[in-house]
Every structure is written in C-alpha cells, then in structure tokens.
Structure 1
Amino acid sequence: MQLAFCLYKYFPFGGMQRDFLRIAQACQARGHAIRVYVLEWQGEVPPAFEVVHVPVRALFNHRRYRKYTEWVQADLARCPAGRVIGFNKMPGLDVYYAADPCFEDKARTLRNPLYRLGGRYRHFAAYERAVFGSDSRTEILLITKAQLPVFSRHYGTPPERFHVLPPGIAADRRRPADADEVRAGLRAEFGVTGNAFLLVQIGSGFKTKGVDRSLKALAALPDTLRQRTRLLVIGQDDPKPFKLQAATLGVSERVQFLKGRGDVPRFLLGADLMIHPAYHEAGGIVLLEAMVAGLPVIATKTCGFSHFIAEAEAGAILPEPFDQARFNAEVASTLNDAGQRRRWQANGLAFAARADLYSLAERAADVILQRPAREPGSR
C-alpha cells in the first residue's frame, strides 16, 4: 500500500523528526511504499523513500502552511495514497502523530485575548480543530496520556480515536558495555578533567526548551562550584541571544553551544547531569534517552515524559509553576551529592531494563495499517 507522510520540515536531530523516520521505516519494513511531503528536507533520504518537495512560498508561515496543504491535497488527488499520516496538524489526515501540545490551550492560557483576533491564531486553531474536532475521522497517536484530557476538554474528541503510544527510545541510547571508555573519551575531547562537572541540555528550539533558565542556574552556582562546571547545549537553533545572555550573566567561558549532531549517545555517557527546564514539551524523548544511558535528569513537570523519570526515581521533576530559585538549588545540590547521582543512575538503568520504552514505531505502525484504506478521491 502507498502511504503518504506529511511534515513541514525534516532534519535529522529533531525528536518528532526521528519518530517520523522510525515510524515510516517500520511501515516500510512491512512492505508498504513511503511518500513524504515536505517543505524542507535536511540530511540523507532513506532508501526507497519518495520525498516530494512542496514548491510553495508565502511571507508568513501560516499562509505557507495553508498553501502546502492545498498543494498536497491536489497532488494526492492525482496520485492517491491508502493512508495520509501527518506530523503537523492539518486537514485531511487519516492519522495524526501528536508531537506538539494543544495550540488552543496555549492560546487561551498563555496569550493575551487579543491574540485570538489575528490570522495566525485563526489558521492554527482551524487546523487543530480539523484533527481533534468531534466530527473529524482522524485517528490520533499520543505520546503521553497527559495530552488526552487537554485535547478532549477543548474539542470533545471521542476517546476511541486516541491511541497512547509507548516511548520510542532508539537502541543506541542504551548504556553500552564500554560506557566508561566512551565517557572518558568525551570528557577528554571537551577538556572536562579532574573533579569538573559536565551538564548537558539537548534539544532543538532553545527558547522552548528553557535554555535561558539553564544559564541562570549555572550563573547561580556558588563560585567554587561554578568554576568546576561546564554546560554543553546541543540542538538546532540560533544560539546568539543565549550567548548574549551568558555574557551578561558572566558565564560565557562555562558554556558551549553545539549544533545538532549524530553522536548524542556519547554526551549522555560523558555528562554528569542532564537539565531540561522546558517551558512546554509534549514529550521530551531526550529525558528517557538520558535515563536509559544512566544519566540523571532534572526537568520540569510540563514535559510529557517527566512522569517516567519520577516513576523510576531517576532524577528530579520540578512542579509548575516553575520556580527559578528552586531549579537553581536543585542543580547545585545534585552536583554536590555524588551518592544521589549514583542512586538516580542505578534506578534509571533498572527501570530501563523492565519497562517498555522502545516500541513506539511498531505500535504506531499497527494503528496506521489497521485503519481501513481510504477510497480514491475521498476526503
């Protein structure tokens, strides 16, 4: 069967993009053909994937996304697919993978009411309603149960259309037998020697992920501890405003920004602590990747996967509303307590050995392929 996957942008280091790739490859392994509609594709194209670059432009993103949808729907009318699977919210989907939080909820709780008068709001609200509305037929793949009541509250979505997936940790994130050697090599490469500490924050979209909060926590460390601590921030984004913030806080020499990269497992093994004080995060797969590598985590409860860290007792989860002083104190106390870090590491590895943290792609493929095939020209 021909499957059509829709996502605005693919790049190798985004969490949603990596989930898309694993799900599409799981479907391909079952004998189905993969076509992908994108505005932009970065990196290598997997074997036998048909990548269709949608040639539309607009001054504003929401208008470009509308043109993308119209172009894709016209192309599907010419070249039908048995299923249409979306990784961004848009009309006409058979299955949607809910990588993003509820737009309507954010618009009503985090924005000025005047925001809802603009064209950007009207576009994204309509596209979300096309997926979650009670009269829609789209099946919805959720990456955490916490998403379900939020969408249901705003849209009255029938519960049978929701499918909660287990996480999808890649096998190369699990702690290997040579972890100590990899750790030593990474720390030597970045000049982390002796009794120095290495913090990592990993994820594209530095503002959303709370990099500003991490820089404040680094600056708030007691002087002797701060001089022993390095922070590596890894992800796809413009680091300039955060470098300026680091300079203002006086920690520029303690921080290094790296672009998204394929050797993230080395950093998970080489670091002493992952910090992830995100403002909002539907999932946060990097938290679980850290846990299965044996790296303790401090994150915010707003992260969809934070409950796994709490259940495993593999780190500290900060409640909402966020308290910067509490985060600062948690980072400092964790760095000063080697015993706590060892306990969190042991707990995380034990949880990783017994819990299903790995089958997201297979379960998603089950839902996609069990749905009745669409008729040519439908929807």
Structure 2
Amino acid sequence: MTLAFALYKYFPFGGLQRDFLRIALECQKRGHNILVFTTSWQGDQPDGFDIRFLEVSGNSNHVRMLNFQQQISSTLKNQPKVALVGFNKLPGLDIYYAADTCYLDKAQSKGWLYRLTSRFRYYKAFEEAVFSQQSHTVSLLISALQKPVFQQYYHTPDERIHLLPPGISRDRCRPDNAEAIRMDFRKEFGLTNEDKLILMVGSGFRTKGLDRAIKAVASLPSSLKQKTRFFVIGQDKQKPFASLARQAGIQNQLHFFAGRDDVPRFLLGADLLIHPAYNENTGTVLLEALVAGLPVLTTDVCGYAHYINDANSGTVVQSPFAQEALNQSLSTMLTSKTWQAWQNNAIAFSHQEDLYSMPERATDIIIEQAQQKSDHASFL
C-alpha cells in the first residue's frame, strides 16, 4: 500500500518531526510506499520516500495551513485507497498523531476577544474536523492526560482514540561505558567532580519554562551557584533569555547550544535535567533522561511527568506552579545524597517498563486503518 503523511514542516531536532520519521520508516520497513506532503525539509531525506513540497499561500499561518490541506486533498481525491496520516490537525485525515494538546482547551485562557479572531475559528475548525463525533479520523494519543480533555470538548468515541506507549529511542539508554563517557564529557567542558551541571533540552524555550529555570538557578545559595553550570540545548530565540540571565546575575553559568545529535552525551555528563514546562503534551526528554539514568526536576503538567514519580527518579513540582517550590527543589536535588538512588531507580525502571515501542504500535494501527480504507474503496 501507499501511505500518505502530512507534516507542515520537517526539521531534524523537533520531537514531533522525529516521531513522524520513525513511524514512517517503520511503515516503509514493513513494505509500504511512503508519500510525504510538506512545505519544507531540513536535513537528509530518507531513501525511498516520495516527498512532495507544496508551496502554500496566505498572509497568516492558519490560512497557509488551510491551503496546505486543500492541496493535499486535491492531490489525493482520485486515490481513494490511500490513507492519510496527519501530524498536524487538518480536515480529511484518516489517522492523526496527536502530539499537540487540545487547542480549544488552551484557548479558554486567552479571553473572549481572542475567540473572535479568524485564527481561533480556523484552528477550532481544524480540531473539530479531527475529534468531533461526525468525524471518522482515528487519533493516536501519546499522553493519557489528553484523552479526557478532547472528549470533554468533542465527545470523541473511545473506539477512535488509541493511546500509544512512549517511543524513546534505544540509543538514549544508558550504555555500559557510561562512566567513561561522562568523564570525557566533563573534561571536555572543564567540569570537575565538584561542579554541578544542570541540563535543559527542547525547542520552544518559553513553553518549556526556561525563564522559570533561569530564576531557579539564580536563586541557588551563592556557594552552590558558583560551582553550577546550566547548559540549554534547543532551537529558539536566545536573546530574551540571555538578557534575563544577565539581569539575574547568572550569565556566566548559562550556555546555549543549537539543536544537535549528541544529546545522549549531555544526558550522561549532566547532574540533573530541569524541565519546568508551562504546557507539555508529553515531555519526551523526561524519559530520555530517565533511561540515561539522569535525575529529573519537572512540572506535573507534562504528560510523561508521572513516569518520574513512578520510577522515583526525581522531583515533580505540583500545580498550581510556585517559583519558590521549583527553587527549593532545585537546591535540594543538587545537594541531596539521594542522587545515586534516583539514578539507580531510573535505570531499573527503564529495564522494566515499555518506554520504547511507540513507532511499532503506531504502525500497527496505521496499517490496520489503511487496509480497512483500501478494502472499503475496493468494495465501492
């Protein structure tokens, strides 16, 4: 079969983009042809993919997204057997991979004026096209927290929602030579055994709570702060956060790195992952840290935060968020004698739980739905 995938933009360091590629490659591995619709692709293109670049028009993101959808629909209208898998909410999808939280729920906090905008109307319509009772789209959810939220607004039937296990790449798992890698890493960056390295990973610095993290580092006791470094990896605008760090007096502690493919080295070399997100459907990096044996400090709004509690491998700051709670937790974790226990707990948990099979399970459902669509089209 030919399986069509719709992804508005591809770049190699986005979590959604990585999930798309792993799922599409798994589908290809099982013998299916892969057709991809996108507007741009950064990085290497997989062998054997038929990638169609669509030039979209419009003076706003939501209008361009609609134009993207209309072009896909026009291309596939004469191919009734081809199932369409979307990684953005769009009308006409057979399967939707739900990497985003519920838009209508988030919009409630923006006030009534926002809900009068064309942006709101378009994105609400896109989401309704996927989750409404009248839709036929099957959704693949990666966060159990989101199922009741979508159903609250759209009353989506249970049979159209499938919850996937996490899909952590095995290359994130702690290797046998982890200590040697850690020593080499810390030597490379001039870190002694007494120094503390806090790590934050993820594009979208505002949503991930980088401002909160900067304030927490700045609040550390002077003696601890002097021997603490804060590394941030991700693709986003650095300037406002560098300015905040200067105002907080930790400009010398904070170091930015662009998106990179050696994140596992950083996970092994650091002493703590901080992820105080404002809003996070899953928080894949939480599990990447867990399987690497790195203790985590995060917020309970992250869909995967419960795994940190389940594994007893760090601290989850509860809602409603209080900066002081994050500050105190950071100081406590950096000085706690429980650090080794957190690491051991994380490693043991990573060997016991299924944190890895998302691409395979997603592929199972996609192929099942695609076969049903093909059989139905043949019958007609």
**What is the TM-score normalised by the length of structure 1?**
0.97
Q: Within 5 Å, which residues of 2 pair with 1:262-273?
A: 262-273=261-272
Aligned partners of 1:81, 1:270: CA distance in 2, in Å?
Answer: 49
Tell me if the contact between 2:76 and 2:82 (Cα under 8 Å) persists in the aligned partners: no
SS in 2 for 1:100: coil
Q: Shift in Å at residue 79 of structure 1?
A: 5.5
Q: Shift in Å at residue 57 of structure 1?
A: 2.8
1:4 aligns to what?
Answer: 4
SS in 1 for 2:306: helix
1:352 and 2:350 aligned: yes
Q: Shift in Å at residue 59 of structure 1?
A: 2.2
2:201 aligns to what?
Answer: 202
SS in 2 for 1:230: strand
Tell me if the contact between 1:233 and 1:258 (Cα under 8 Å) persists in the aligned partners: yes
**What is the TM-score normalised by the length of structure 2?**
0.97
Sort the Cα spacing of 1:165 and 1:66 in 2 relative to 1 into closer, same or farther, 3 A: same
Identify unmatched segments of 5+ residues in structure 1.
none
Aligned partners of 1:81, 1:264: CA distance in 2, in Å?
Answer: 40
Q: Deviations over 1:241-263 (max 9, x none)?
A: 11111111111110011111000
Tell me if the contact between 1:200 and 1:274 (Cα under 8 Å) persists in the aligned partners: yes
1:370 aligns to what?
Answer: 368
Aligned partners of 2:95, 2:19: CA distance in 1, in Å?
Answer: 14
Task: Flag as ranges the 4+ runs of structure 1 deviating above 3 A.
Answer: 78-81, 374-377
1:325 and 2:319 aligned: no
1:192 and 2:191 aligned: yes
Q: Which deviates more from structure 2 when the two are superposed, residues 78-87 or residues 250-259? A: 78-87
Aligned partners of 2:7, 2:319: CA distance in 1, in Å?
Answer: 31
Q: Shift in Å at residue 187 of structure 1?
A: 1.3
Amino acid in the other structure paired with 2:28: Q
Aligned partners of 1:78, 1:233: CA distance in 2, in Å?
Answer: 47
Sort the Cα spacing of 1:210 and 1:81 in 2 relative to 1 into closer, same or farther, 3 A: farther
Q: Within 5 Å, which residues of 2 pair with 1:210-359?
A: 210-337=209-336, 339-359=337-357
Amino acid in the other structure paired with 2:48: A
1:82 and 2:85 aligned: no
Amino acid in the other structure paired with 2:151: S
SS in 1 for 2:50: strand
Aligned partners of 2:254, 2:190: CA distance in 1, in Å?
Answer: 12
Q: Shift in Å at residue 75 of structure 1?
A: 1.5
Aligned partners of 1:116, 1:159: CA distance in 2, in Å?
Answer: 28
SS in 2 for 1:212: helix
Amino acid in the other structure paired with 2:69: T
Aligned partners of 1:355, 1:96: CA distance in 2, in Å?
Answer: 25
Aligned partners of 2:58, 2:217: CA distance in 1, in Å?
Answer: 40
Sort the Cα spacing of 1:248 and 1:80 in 2 relative to 1 into closer, same or farther, 3 A: farther
2:174 aligns to what?
Answer: 175
2:19 aligns to what?
Answer: 19
Aligned partners of 2:246, 2:286: CA distance in 1, in Å?
Answer: 28
The root-mean-square deviation of aligned C-alpha atoms, in Å, is 1.3
SS in 2 for 1:59: coil
1:39 aligns to what?
Answer: 39
Amino acid in the other structure paired with 2:29: A
Q: Shift in Å at residue 72 of structure 1?
A: 1.1
SS in 2 for 1:96: strand
Q: Shift in Å at residue 376 of structure 1?
A: 6.4
Tell me if the contact between 2:196 and 2:270 (Cα under 8 Å) persists in the aligned partners: yes
Q: Shift in Å at residue 92 of structure 1?
A: 0.5
Residue correspondences, number? 375
Amino acid in the other structure paired with 2:183: A
Aligned partners of 1:241, 1:59: CA distance in 2, in Å?
Answer: 27
Identity %: 49
Q: Shift in Å at residue 81 of structure 1?
A: 5.6
Identify unmatched segments of 5+ residues in structure 2.
none
Sort the Cα spacing of 1:26 and 1:94 in 2 relative to 1 into closer, same or farther, 3 A: same
Amino acid in the other structure paired with 1:104: L
Tell me if the contact between 2:231 and 2:254 (Cα under 8 Å) persists in the aligned partners: yes
Tell me if the contact between 1:3 and 1:81 (Cα under 8 Å) persists in the aligned partners: no
Aligned partners of 1:323, 1:123: CA distance in 2, in Å?
Answer: 34
Tell me if the contact between 2:4 and 2:83 (Cα under 8 Å) persists in the aligned partners: yes
Amino acid in the other structure paired with 2:349: F
Tell me if the contact between 2:197 and 2:230 (Cα under 8 Å) persists in the aligned partners: yes
Q: Deviations over 1:15-74 (max 9, x none)?
A: 111111111111111100111111111110111111111111322111110111111111
Tell me if the contact between 1:313 and 1:347 (Cα under 8 Å) persists in the aligned partners: yes
Q: Shift in Å at residue 112 of structure 1?
A: 1.3
SS in 1 for 2:143: coil
Aligned partners of 2:134, 2:339: CA distance in 1, in Å?
Answer: 49
SS in 2 for 1:288: helix
Tell me if the contact between 2:86 and 2:97 (Cα under 8 Å) persists in the aligned partners: yes
Q: Deviations over 1:201-256 (max 9, x none)?
A: 00111111000100000111111111110111101111111111111111111001
Tell me if the contact between 2:95 and 2:139 (Cα under 8 Å) persists in the aligned partners: yes
2:66 aligns to what?
Answer: 66
Sort the Cα spacing of 1:222 and 1:30 in 2 relative to 1 into closer, same or farther, 3 A: same
SS in 2 for 1:137: coil
Sort the Cα spacing of 1:57 and 1:191 in 2 relative to 1 into closer, same or farther, 3 A: farther
Amino acid in the other structure paired with 2:201: I
Q: Shift in Å at residue 334 of structure 1?
A: 0.5
